[in-house]
A and B are shown apart, each in its own frame.
Chain A
């Protein structure tokens, strides 16, 4: 959890971000600046404040997130046992990494199926139900397990276009993302975080990205500095928020950031420590 980003988004560092329940958070990055830290932020923010997280990754293995979480002071295995965290490997890609164990959470996308993402949607719904059950089992006397805020993170959804060779259309993916915004059996509507590589999109995928931008309550866009690589400023982050239909979006704000070993610092453009 990066407190600078929470401050910029006016979110609490201690209470679960209930204002984001039912909303769509879009994280877009480019080749020049990797936006992976944004996903780590949402993962940590939700887990540290007592919300449950389902992480569906189409690009990384579970071990990757376990290591990142350990650096951020979170024990994912422990949280998994308490029904607060589940990982679903979205793509069944054989890994050559000797350290990574084949995880039980991996999901094989059956492309011969006319609607391959429907199974994944069903899988997420089943996972949510299983988490609720294990939360109840871990803490029977506690508060209502159905009322725990839930966050669903979809990591690198655009990978689906490239990895499946066009078997998944932008419309199908949009429908899938749409469907993940409300699970009628899970009491509070989940907060859905979707990460996209904005520069790897073409054709209909661009239209998908544009549609998501319209629907997102929070859009975080990471890009490299226009002046090129800098040791002290790793990139810039644009934050745009749109609330209701009736309200105009707040003007886009821009922050610079520097990724450090255990955290990421955010500062206004021109206010880098190295400059002042």
Chain B
């Protein structure tokens, strides 16, 4: 099973992502991804804050199926019931944090307070916003992106923000969805964009180090609402396979239908005298090859650890003198790369530059005929 970037970011949170944007359209909504992420994070007992702007909080909780989860209950910030703060009095439900969308500072403060309460202690919580489109109508896109950046940057108990944003709304708002989305994506570390007509998404993830990871994945859900992802390239042969995989069908049925739906295409690589494609065993073997100079994540962590023995600290230059017994380099782990300098016998000067001037007494322009 190959790893999925989408799952690493949303479900397992193995890839740290400060702000994740789920850019969808009315025909291809990504609300299910938001729900799956919130459910997975809440089930692990992490702090979850739901910001209800477009849907009623009760509806949001119900569609997430979060009522039955044991452990910490997700905290709901209700910006839906009274979006403009018109009827501030007479709020019965005290478990919901009431706020309005017309004041972004107040909204950010309420979310931060809820995040601190949801996390409980040193841990940080994840904030799920449904959706940014309404905020973009009430405020400028720039203000909304500043609001997002302020949520995660200041030390307010928010580890990450996952927000839905509707491309068609942005398109109507600014006549070009790309520029408005780019403004938001500038502060985001991950942008998940739905590809219209298919059930696949483009994931664009920027790590803190600056490394950019991209993937194109199709997703579907099992009957237990578990997210299943497949690289979109494996589905691209037939359109029908792509659409069934995206529907809320089980993974098994989608894979079987994709196999059945494949039409017979002429294979240009069939009658060649050499082999162009890999079979499953060969592909597996290729994946198992360990590249000699590529450090694995575990190696990197080992290097960065503080308690690494200082005698064999990597990157140090060791001088092997006669007075010292020679060090055994072979016993060192493969990750440590050291420069071993052994001075030549009988040479006193260790000056790299030598006496070049003494050796070259001749005038280099001697033969020049002026």
Contact = CB atoms under 8 A, between A and B. Distances in A.
Contact of A179 (B59, B84, B92, B171): B84
B156 interface: no
Given A115-B84, A244-B62, A184 B31 contact: no
B64 A207 contact: no
B19 interface: no
B130 A245 contact: yes
A218 to B, nearest CB: 13
Interface string B44-87: 00000000001110011011110000000000000011111011
A245 B169 contact: no
Contact of A118 (B86, B171, B225): B86
Interface stretch (A12-20, A80-88, A208-216, A262-270): A208-216
A111 to B, nearest CB: 17
A215 to B, nearest CB: 5
Interface stretch (B131-139, B234-242, B286-294, B310-318): B131-139
20 contacts: A121-B86, A175-B102, A175-B138, A182-B80, A207-B170, A210-B133, A210-B169, A211-B54, A211-B134, A214-B131, A215-B55, A243-B63, A244-B59, A245-B32, A245-B60, A246-B65, A246-B225, A247-B63, A248-B32, A249-B27
A242 interface: yes
Contact of B172 (A121, A176, A209, A246): A209
Nearest to A215: B54
A125 interface: yes
Contacts of B60: 245
Given A115-B86, A175-B102, A246-B225, 7 more contacts: A179-B87, A184-B90, A214-B29, A214-B169, A215-B54, A245-B31, A248-B247
Contacts of B14: none
A33 B13 CA distance: 50
Interface string A232-271: 0000000000111111110000000000000000000000
B26 A207 contact: no
A185 interface: yes
Interface in A132-153: none
Contacts of A247: 32, 63, 248
A179 B138 contact: no
A9 B26 CA distance: 19
Contacts of B108: none
A171 interface: yes
Contact of A170 (B31, B56, B59, B137): B137
A204 interface: yes
Contacts of B27: 249
A245 B84 contact: no
Contact of A214 (B83, B84, B136, B166): B166
A178 interface: yes
A79 B62 CA distance: 35
Interface of A: 22, 115, 118, 121-122, 125, 170-171, 174-176, 178-179, 181-185, 189, 204, 206-211, 213-215, 242-249
A176 B85 CA distance: 11
Nearest to B79: A178
Given A170-B137, A178-B83, A211 B35 contact: no
A179 B130 CA distance: 17
B315 to A, nearest CB: 50
A184 B56 CA distance: 12
A179 B101 CA distance: 11
A247 B248 CA distance: 7
B168 interface: yes
A248 B29 contact: yes
B90 A185 contact: yes
Contacts of A174: 134, 137-138
Contacts of B82: 179, 182, 184
Nearest to A175: B84
Contacts of A170: 137
B201 to A, nearest CB: 14
Given A247-B248, A248-B247, A213 B59 contact: no
Contacts of A214: 26, 29, 54, 131, 133, 166, 169
Nearest to B92: A184
Contacts of B26: 210, 213-214
Nearest to A189: B56
A246 B81 contact: no
B40 interface: no
Nearest to A119: B86
Q: Which 8 A-B residue pairs are closest in the complex by CB-CB distance?
A: A244-B63, A206-B172, A245-B31, A207-B172, A245-B63, A207-B173, A175-B84, A246-B35
Given A179-B83, A184-B81, A211 B166 contact: yes
Interface string B115-152: 00000000000000011011011100000000000000
A246 B31 contact: yes
B56 A181 contact: yes
B211 interface: no
A141 to B, nearest CB: 28
Contacts of B172: 204, 206-207, 209-210
B181 interface: no
A242 B31 CA distance: 11
